[in-house]
Amino acid sequence: MPEPIVISVALGPHVAALTCRIDGRPTAVINTLARTDPRICTEAAIALVGAGMDAGRTLGAIHGVRR
């Protein structure tokens, strides 16, 4: 499976994450509030796992860990 693309952007207080596929690669845009807001964090994690990202990569993306 191709490596996912993850981008962090300030999306406001009501959007946790956007997910899609670009050229067959899972892609996620995560709200920067996911680091500090438990509700946004939970919603972003559900969106990323639902898009096919594994749990470890999801936690790393939310907390800003990159390879």
Instruction: Tell me how far the alpha carbon of residue 35 is from its chain's centroid.
Output: 11
Looking at this protein, which amino acid is placed at residue 31? Answer: N
Residue 45: CB atoms within 10 A of its CB come to 20
- Give SS3 for 5: strand
The one-digit pLDDT tens for each residue of the chain (67 residues) are 677 788 889 999 999 999 888 888 888 899 999 888 999 999 999 888 887 788 887 888 777 744 3
pTM: 0.79
pLDDT for position 57: 79
pLDDT for position 66: 45
pLDDT for position 60: 80
Residue 28's nearest CA partner among 61, 65, 63, 64 is 61
